[in-house]
Amino acid sequence: MKATRLSKQLNIQAPIIQAGMPWVANAELAAAVSNAGGLGIIVPNAGLPVNGDEIENFHAQLRKLKALTTRPFGACLDMGHPQLDALVRIATEEAVPVVVTVGGSPNLHSGHLKDAGITVIHVVSSVHQARSAEARGADAIIAAGFEAASYGCPDELTLMTLIPQVVDTVEIPVIAAGGIADGRGLAAALSLGAGAVYIGTRFIATHECVAHPNLKDAIINAIDTSTTIVRRDSSHIRLLKNSTTESLKELEGSKDKIEDIEALLSDDKARSAVLEGKIDQGKIYCGAGAGLITEIMSAADIVKTMVQQADSALSRAK
């Protein structure tokens, strides 16, 4: 596959970035993606035990990752995290090459990170946010369409419409995120002007991912209608359908039920689903492309297959 401007900037062979998925983006998965030529990403709470310390866990995950790969890698940090200062300090001390920032202002800590030689990539969901991230020093942006897992696009812009508009607006590289699960999606994103793709759900269904087998099975058994959007009145979150999403739908718009809604969307609910396998009760972030995932594979095979499929698709389009 021909190198893109971004793949050259990040020193990766394949324009594939594994997303920083809460609880499951662990060192083994990130190392496997990086060793395969993509860019692996870890999160501070990957595999975190009940009552575990995120700061210690982040340190441990980083050290394990650095022992498993000599290739570029990254970490994903939530700008609203209560211990953000400590996490940023660890990222700089451990010389993390790339940091993906999610939520909040992209310039909250970008100066510290960039001063340490770290590439900063911020997640956005609109042209306005993309312009803002660029003005505040982001080195690249991830444009997440309505199809993406986790907190999505409040204006419900599809990736097909969002990517070209963002590409036409900013000078920095653009990474496509949302519903991409195979090489056809990679080819489409590159054709729209993206320099890489940011993929989460596909990498959960891998041998290296710390996610519970029940979650991996749920993903490979998913169909096109297996995900849904909840909290359209506020945060717009795409989740795998289960009893939790049914309850959230019933509570939608109920201002006197905020505590009940927050309980259903708690971190404990998310952890119990993805790490303990309680998939019918928990909060499960899942992209709309889950129906394209039919088997558990190694992360390396996913990177290799996606590149081959993309090359084939792009060749046919000529």
- pLDDT score recorded for residue 255: 66
* 15 shares its domain with 58: yes
* 17 shares its domain with 138: yes
The tally of domains found in the chain comes to: 2
Question: The domain spanning residue 64 has which CATH number?
Answer: 3.20.20.70
* 37 shares its domain with 129: yes
* 19 shares its domain with 79: yes
- pLDDT score recorded for residue 317: 77
Report the C-alpha gap between 261 and 281 in whole angstroms.
Answer: 13
Which residues pair with residue 229 across a beta bridge?
Answer: 238
* 149 shares its domain with 248: no
Which tokens belong to 24? 């499951």
Domain that holds residue 164: 5-209+297-317
Report the C-alpha gap between 30 and 73 in whole angstroms.
Answer: 7
At 76 the three-state DSSP class reads strand
Report the C-alpha gap between 123 and 74 in whole angstroms.
Answer: 14
* 108 shares its domain with 147: yes
* 144 shares its domain with 242: no
* 269 shares its domain with 303: no
pLDDT of the chain, 318 residues: tens digit per residue: 889 999 999 999 999 999 999 999 999 999 999 999 999 999 999 999 998 999 999 999 999 999 999 999 999 999 989 999 999 999 999 999 999 999 877 676 777 898 899 999 999 999 999 999 999 999 999 999 999 987 666 788 999 999 999 999 999 999 999 999 999 999 999 999 999 999 999 999 999 999 999 999 999 999 999 999 987 767 788 999 999 889 888 887 666 677 787 888 788 888 999 999 999 888 899 999 999 999 999 999 999 999 999 999 998 876
* 107 shares its domain with 12: yes
Residues in the chain, total: 318
* 158 shares its domain with 224: no
* 56 shares its domain with 153: yes
pTM of the model: 0.95
* 217 shares its domain with 184: no
- pLDDT score recorded for residue 228: 92
